Amino acid sequence: MVATARLGAERPDKPKVSRGAPARSAIEDATRPLDRMFALCPTDPSQEYKPLRRSIRLHGHSTTLRLEKAFWTVLEELAAKQGSTLAALITRIHDHCVGTDQKNLASCLRVVCLQYIETCR
């Protein structure tokens, strides 16, 4: 018995070819947010995940903060747009977080970065 191909059925030995549509980039093909974000990221994003420690002074007291490089980059951008130093920006965020009874400064800084990206970029 010989099998006959139905009209419109795909053949496994032939790749499907799109006719008439221009080639799209990986970024354009990434319709889901996470896929799009990964397509926009540099080829080696591991450096963005790397935690960095920085020492700053908050109201005269030295403290060390540990945040991923990506958050430090956003905080530096925010400080530049505010026209202040990074230490002054973090002190201002610290004072706001203490006023809202938030004890974990690193968590507060991460949330501020996310809110900045969502509302101001």
Please write the tens of the pLDDT for every residue from 59-105. 999 999 999 999 999 999 999 999 999 999 999 999 999 877 778 99
Domain boundaries in the chain? Answer: 47-120
Residue 47 has pLDDT above 90, yes or no: no
Query: What is the structure's pLDDT at 25?
Result: 60
- pLDDT tens profile 13-23: 554 544 554 55
Q: What angle do CA 87, 84, 94 make, to 5 degrees?
A: 40
4: tokens are 């006959």
Question: Would you tell me how many other CB atoms lie within 10 Å of the CB of residue 108?
Answer: 18
Query: What is the structure's pLDDT at 8?
Result: 47
Query: What is the structure's pLDDT at 26?
Result: 57
Distance (Å, rounded) from C-alpha 40 to C-alpha 30? 10
Percentage with pLDDT > 90 across the chain: 50
Is the distance from CB of 75 to CB of 89 less than 8 angstroms? Answer: yes
Distance (Å, rounded) from C-alpha 105 to C-alpha 66? 10
- The architecture (CATH level 2) of 47-120 comes to Orthogonal Bundle (1.10)
* Continuous segment of H or E residues that includes residue 62: strand 61-68
Most confident range, picked from 6-15, 48-57, 72-81: 72-81
- Res. 5 pLDDT band, cuts 50 70 90: very low
Share the mean pLDDT of the chain: 80
Is the distance from CB of 73 to CB of 42 less than 8 angstroms? Answer: no
In SS3 terms, 10-53 reads as CCCCCCCCCCCCCCCCHHHHCCCHHHHHHHHCCCCCHHHHCEEE
